[in-house]
């Protein structure tokens, strides 16, 4: 697999105001695959792609791109990975991702 998302969890806030946005997301894609992520507003589509694109740090799980884990990378290391990956994010209820 070129892209593997395993048990991805992401939340915002603390204490009683904490909101779990991603609750154990799993996803696998081969290079050259196009997929659409569809859901209602606020369900976590953009958060998922922001995590895959290393724009946000996730709480639990792992993301591997071409076998390299994003889990413990520093900010400058995350940026170096994305010369080959394109993520298209729109404000509609669906998002297209080409790997």
Top CATH class, 3-98: alpha beta
Supply the pLDDT for residue 83: 54
Determine the Cα–Cα distance for residues 22 and 24; give it in Å rounded to an integer.
6
User: Is the Cβ–Cβ distance between 78 and 71 less than 8 Å?
Assistant: no
Q: Is the pLDDT of residue 59 over 90?
A: yes
Q: What percent of the chain has pLDDT over 70?
A: 78
Q: Could you tell me the pLDDT band of residue 66, with boundaries at 50, 70 and 90?
A: confident
Supply the pLDDT for residue 98: 53
Mean pLDDT of 33-42: 89
Beta-bridge mates of residue 85: none
């Amino acid at each position: 697999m070129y892209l593997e998302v395993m048990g991805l969890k992401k939340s915002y806030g603390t204490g009683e105001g904490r909101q779990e946005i991603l609750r154990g997301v799993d996803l696998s894609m081969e290079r050259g695959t196009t997929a659409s992520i569809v859901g209602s507003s606020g369900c976590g589509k953009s958060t998922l792609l922001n995590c895959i694109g290393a724009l946000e740090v996730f709480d639990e799980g792992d993301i591997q791109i071409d076998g390299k884990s994003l889990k413990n990378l520093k900010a400058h290391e995350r940026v170096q990975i994305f010369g080959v990956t394109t993520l298209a994010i729109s404000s509609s209820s669906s998002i297209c991702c080409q790997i």
